[in-house]
């Protein structure tokens, strides 16, 4: 009888933790807007170079695309969720939130623009 009480208590606590835990984070998206995610670390010069390229693209194609940045120091669950092991890693999500493109390393601006145009996510 005592074992059953402990088992019920454990089961109740386990379910409570699962129900009260926040879900895994997902990138926020404006309706119908694709998202570019850059995964990076603070001391990576290539990550900063890629951030400048993505910032330029976001400004140039304002309203057509959004860019989000995740840093290993503060966003480790996102690194695990997207299975990122190298930085910078670029992931493009469709407006519905599914991954449509991934690249590890720096992508030149013209190549990134060509990719986004090829996916029909941006236009001049």
Q: For residue range 66-102, list pLDDT tens digits in order.
A: 999 999 999 999 999 999 999 999 999 999 999 999 9
The pLDDT assigned to 28 comes to: 56
The pLDDT assigned to 112 comes to: 97
Domains of the chain in start order, with CATH, are 35-118 (3.40.30.10)
Burial 41-54 (b: 16+ CB within 10 A, else e): eeeeeebeebbebb
The pLDDT assigned to 35 comes to: 96
Are 101 and 91 contacting, i.e. CB atoms less than 8 angstroms apart? Answer: yes
Task: Give the helix ranges, DSSP H, for the chain.
Answer: 2-20, 45-60, 76-81, 109-118
The pLDDT assigned to 9 comes to: 42
Q: What is the mean pLDDT of residues 22-27?
A: 46
How confident is the model over 34-65, as pLDDT tens digits? Answer: 999 999 999 999 999 999 999 999 999 999 99
- Specify whether the backbone of 23 is left (phi greater than 0), alpha (psi in -120 to 50) or beta: beta
How confident is the model over 102-116, as pLDDT tens digits? Answer: 999 999 999 999 999
Residues 6+ apart with CB under 8 A from 117: 123
- Closest C-alpha among 57, 48, 44, 73 to residue 119: 57
The pLDDT assigned to 10 comes to: 45
Per the model's pLDDT, the better-predicted residue between 26 and 8 turns out to be: 26
The pLDDT assigned to 32 comes to: 76
Partners of residue 35 on adjacent β-strands = 66, 93
Kindly tell me if the per-residue pLDDT of 12 is higher than 50.
Answer: no
């Amino acid at each position: 009888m005592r074992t059953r009480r402990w088992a019920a208590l454990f089961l109740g606590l386990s379910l409570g933790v699962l129900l009260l835990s926040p879900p895994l984070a997902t990138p926020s998206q404006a309706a119908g807007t694709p998202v570019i995610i850059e995964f990076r670390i603070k001391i990576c010069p290539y990550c900063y170079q890629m951030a400048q390229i993505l910032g330029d693209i976001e400004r140039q194609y304002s309203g057509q695309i959004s860019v989000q940045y995740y840093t290993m120091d503060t966003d480790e669950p996102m690194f695990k969720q997207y299975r990122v092991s190298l930085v910078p890693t670029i992931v493009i999500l469709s407006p519905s939130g599914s991954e449509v493109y991934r690249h590890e390393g720096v992508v030149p601006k013209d190549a990134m623009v060509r990719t986004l145009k090829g996916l029909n996510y941006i236009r001049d």
